[in-house]
Amino acid sequence: MLFPPPQQTGPSPRVVITGVGVITALGQGWKANAEGFRAGRVAIGPVTLFDVSRQRVKVAAQAELPEALPPTRLRPRDHRRMERAAKVLLVAAHEAWQQSGWEPAEQLPVVLGTTSGGMSLGEAYYQQAIQRPHSHGKQPTRVLHYQAQRQGQNLAEAFGFSGPVIIIANACASGANAVGHAWELLRRGHAERVLTGGYDALSKLVFAGFDSLQALSPTLCRPFDAHRDGLALGEGAAVLTLETLDYARRRGATVLGEMVGYGAATDAHHLTQPHPDGDAALAAMTEACTNAKLAPDQIDYVNAHGTGTPLNDSAEAAAINKWAGDNARALPVSSTKASIGHLLGGAGAVEAVVCLMALRGQWLPPTATLQTPEPLCNFPIVHQPTEAKLEYALSNSFGFGGANATLILRRWK
Amino acid sequence: MRKAIFICGVGAVSPAGWGVRALRESLARGQPLPLKELPRPGWSEPLRVRAVPPPSARPGFLSHARLRRTSPIAQQSVAAALEALGEDAARVADGSSRLGVVLCVMSGCVNYSRRFYDEVLKDPVTASPLVFPETVFNAPASHLAALLGTTAINYTLVGDPGAFLQGLALAADWLLSERVEACVVIGAEEMDWLTSDAYRLFNRRAVLSDGAGALYLKRRANQVPAVELREVTQAHLFSNRQTRAEAARRARDELGPGGPDRLLCDGLQGLPRLDRAEELAWRDWLGARLSPKAVLGEGLMAAAAWQCVAAIDALREGHYAAANVSIVGCNQQAIGAQFATNSCASS
């Protein structure tokens, strides 16, 4: 049962990562993405998925989907009904599942973050409902597959397991909240393993929305640059198999890294703008460190939310300055959104995976487009490929509605 | 030792009106509320729905800068949450109580999403930047947090109506882990022809409704009789390997046999095809039954919340010792919960 929770004796279990799947504009899979992030490759280009001729901005970081979806228990008919967001999620989940060596089971929770689920199907539904109001062809399928829970259920069908599907829609912090919630489920004894991640695909509505807010950069997405003028949208997914260390050891799994901290807080300042002092970001980072029993000076790298909008980056800089204090000057920070854009509900999960890649490879992913560092930043902004000794990495994710989330990962030796 | 979670307040906005009292009175009458017409663009005939009536007086919270231009789902969520919190809202505002927020939706902010996408289709250059942020699933929860002044953890869960009980379990877990001192869980939907049109594709006789329901949870009771959250079952997923009926049966089995002094607050609507799985699962129930959706309509996530509100309200009135809530969702899961008065809970 979901409540009351199982009685726990002793300390909370350690939580490790045993499988990772990722797809972004840098490519499909760990290798392509690790190479791209390490080198600071920028994968932002013209939007071809839908018409942007009337938009102010015409670029984004589109992911290239494989010609065929990976083989799972899903039928060809299921594949045909899936839209872009469901496909990127399945691709990432398949990689993670394969790597973990997991077997299907009853009551294996899925926790996912997304902002818009199968939005392109919602768009198609609306267009047909307006343009051909008496035609119902394909509409029921669109209704079902538009909904985010369906994409979570797809994973259960694909890999043959069952369990609660939990969808967290906390705007651009969704992915981080999902991974953090999965971690908490394991720490609190609700499960021994959880499939988790975040995903979103580009869609006309969301692209137009950010464009209408003039949040998209008309030049080049340059997080933490003094002359930054907006973000670039991206798409993709990351899925992680989290399990307790005991469970991983019992089955002889290969451990990729450890998740040690999660914090979440709410910024009540404004629906779309952070408090200029970054209070909620500070609270989320502080809580994550408290959970991890770490001091800020033990964090070796921060993967910032770093969207490239003037307001986000200055608020986040203020929060990191305050949180790190005197240690800020030696704390490398970067935003990988310069490479793959902002993946919205996918961002937090993908950036957690970037941290894992950095910890495993002992390198720092650069903010490749940085030209003139924002003077508010007391910390060095990594802007070129760099080797480093890393033990702990912290990832920030913030979203509309004031959702703030922080994850901390540890290198596995 | 078992740690208890208490329901310290409930709130509701429904087609019956604004407030739990209106909900209670409508359910006591047991008559389906009258239908209203909702124009559907492109059709000569309107859709028929049960919508939330206008409030008798403009809610005071609408004077808050964040709430003035919000959509109905935000306003109804806030109204239900404030009713559930009662006087404790002031304790949240002055910082003496750390409040978590869990908002559960299925369709979410569909009014503004439809409106914004319509503007995009006409010409994206003129699409309103004021409308877009209100399309985001967590906008209502954000507005509530801003109104109350809480900066604690705040999740918006998306799913079929069973997600409301997942939200209750989540809130209970936050309380047990002392992450927050109190938590409000809200289920909400807003009326729109688009949602009603979509639901009609699956059952032409279904009548959609809208509104919100809220439960206020704490670790300590502040009322007598205190109502306790006893149990939330597993979420039994519908799949190629498990039918709705099987999932419903498993949820029902987890809640135990019950007895004549117990209430079942179910999700039956009086539509045989939609009701069948749940009816089969609970056909041997010996106690009383209450079916809020038969009176109020299919309010999706709001209806799941109303079921809980009605069950808790009946316990508070002293009519029953315990109440089960059964939710057999639209397309995701079957799940159940049990509430009990404190005397029963400790037995």
CATH code of the domain covering residue A190: 3.40.47.10
Which residues of chain B neighbour A134 with C-beta distances below 8 Å? 42-43
Average pLDDT of chain A is 97
User: Cβ contacts (< 8 Å) between A188 and chain B: which residues?
Assistant: 173, 177
How many CA atoms lie within 13 Å of A106's alpha carbon, on the beta-carbon side? Answer: 8
Give the HSE-up count for residue B31: Cα atoms under 13 Å, Cβ half-sphere: 4
- Cβ pair B139:A271 closer than 8 A: yes
B163 to A55: CB separation less than 8 angstroms, yes or no = no
Confidence of residue B346 (pLDDT cuts 50, 70, 90): very low
DSSP letter for B66, please.
T
Mean pLDDT of A130-139: 96
Interface size A-B, in CB pairs within 8 Å, comes to 224
- Nearest residue of B to residue A140, measured between CA atoms: B201
Residue at which a domain ends, from A199, A226, A250: A250
* Least trusted range by pLDDT, from A53-62, B115-124, B221-230: B221-230
Asked if the C-beta of A126 comes within 8 angstroms of chain B's C-beta atoms, the answer is yes
pLDDT attached to residue B345: 47
Least CA distance to A344: which residue of chain B? B136
- The count of structural domains within chain A is 2
Co-location of A272 and A188 in the same domain: no
CA of B130: how far to CAs of A43, A294, B117, in Å?
30, 41, 13
Residue that terminates a domain, selected from A250, A282, A299: A250
Residue A179 pLDDT exceeds 90: yes
Domain-embedded: residue A339: yes
Q: Do A150 and A224 have their domain in common?
A: yes
Using CA atoms, how far residue A16 sits from A23, A140, A183, A257, in Å, is 21, 40, 9, 6
Q: Which of B3, B120, B132 lies closest to A204 in CB terms?
A: B120
The reply to whether domains B6-218 and B228-345 share a CATH topology is: yes
At A194-220, the pLDDT tens digits run: 999 999 999 999 999 999 999 999 999
φ, ψ (nearest 5 deg) of residue B76:
-70, -35
Cα A177 from Cα A188, distance rounded (Å): 16
Sign of CA dihedral B173, B175, B178, B180: positive
Residues A124 and A65 in one domain: yes
Beta strands B227-232; B17-18: pairing state: unpaired
Q: For residue A99, give the nearest of A196, A197, A241 by alpha carbon.
A: A241
| A41 and A95 belong to one structural domain | yes
* Mean pLDDT confidence for B175-194: 97
Cβ atoms B333, B236 nearer than 8 A: yes
Range A376-380 average pLDDT: 98
Cβ atoms of A161 and A193 within 8 Å: the answer is: no
- Answer yes or no: do A236 and A287 share one domain: no
Nearest CA in chain A to B101: A266
Which CATH code for domain B228-345? 3.40.47.10
Distance CA B289, CA B326 (A): 11
Domains of chain B by residue range: 6-218, 228-345
| Rounded Cα gap, residues B172 and A33, in angstroms | 39
Distance from CA of B300 to the nearest CA of A (A): 13
Which among B153, B177, B202 has CB closest to A265? B153
Among B79, B307, B343, B334, CA closest to B209: B307
Do A96 and A161 belong to one domain? yes
With an 8 Å Cβ cutoff, is A141 touching chain B? no
pLDDT tens for A69-94 read 999 999 999 999 999 999 999 999 99
Burial label, A76 (beta-carbon count in 10 A; 0-12, 13-18, 19+): exposed
ipTM of the complex: 0.98
In a domain, A255, yes or no: no
User: How close B22 comes to chain A (CA, Å)?
Assistant: 30
Contact A148, A112 (CB under 8 A): yes
**What pLDDT does residue B347 have?**
34
The answer to whether A402 and A280 have CB atoms below 8 angstroms apart is yes
CA atoms within 13 A on the CB side of A193: 26
At residue B302, the pLDDT reads: 98
Q: How far is B294 from chain A (nearest CA, A)?
A: 24
* A326 shares a domain with A242: no
Supply the pLDDT for residue B2. Answer: 67
Instruction: Tell me what the pLDDT averaged over chain B comes to.
Output: 95
| pLDDT for res B257 | 85
Residues of chain A contacting B233 with CB distance shorter than 8 Å: 1-2
State the amino acid at position A365 in one-letter form. Answer: P
Q: Answer yes or no: is pLDDT of B211 > 70.
A: yes
- Whether residue A20 is predicted with pLDDT greater than 90 in this model: the reply is yes
Percent of chain A scoring above 70 in pLDDT: 100
Nearest to A303 by CA among A265, A340, A254: A340
Check A177 against B120: CB less than 8 A apart: no
Q: Give the tokens for residue A367.
A: 């903010």
Residue A318 domain-assigned (yes or no): yes
pLDDT at B1 over 70: no
A370 touches chain B (CB under 8 A): no
Calculate how close chain B gets to A407, using CA atoms only, in Å.
Answer: 14
**Contact at CB, A130 and B168, closer than 8 angstroms:** no
Lowest-pLDDT choice from A284-288, A304-308, B66-70: B66-70
- Residues A169 and A269 reside in one and the same domain: no
Subunit contact A167:B158, Cβ cutoff 8 A: yes
Give the residue from chain B lying closest to A206, CA to CA: B132
Stretch B48-63: mean pLDDT: 95
Partner-chain residue, chosen from A54, A140, A267, that has the shortest CB–CB distance to B201: A140
CA distances (Å), origin A282, targets A180, A274, A287, A316: 17, 12, 9, 8
Q: Which of A228, A250, A272 is the last residue of a domain?
A: A250
pLDDT(B344) > 80: no
Contact A275, A269 (CB under 8 A): yes
Is the Cβ pair A268, B150 closer than 8 Å? Answer: yes
% of residues, chain B, pLDDT over 70:
98
Predicted model pTM: 0.98
> Is A29 exposed, middle or buried, given 0-12, 13-18 or 19+ CB atoms closer than 10 A?
middle
A157/chain B closest Cα distance in angstroms: 7
Contact A168 B156 (CB under 8 A): yes
| DSSP codes of every residue in A177-197 | HHHHHHHHHHHTTS-SEEEEE
Contact (CB, 8 A) for B188 and B143: no
pLDDT tier for residue B223 given thresholds of 50, 70 and 90 = confident
One of 3.40.50.1820, 3.40.47.10, 3.40.50.300, 3.40.30.10 is the CATH number of B6-218, namely 3.40.47.10
Q: Is A236 on the interface with B (CB under 8 A)?
A: no
Higher pLDDT, A141 or B95: A141
For residue A103, pLDDT over 80 is answered with: yes
In angstroms, the separation between the Cα of residue B261 and the nearest Cα of chain A is: 23
Q: Which residue range forms the structural domain that includes residue A118? A: 15-250
Write the residue in B132, B149, B155 that is nearest to A177 by C-beta: B155
Sign of torsion over alpha carbons B259, B261, B262, B268: positive
Give the residue numbers of A annotated as catalytic, written as ranges.
172, 305, 342
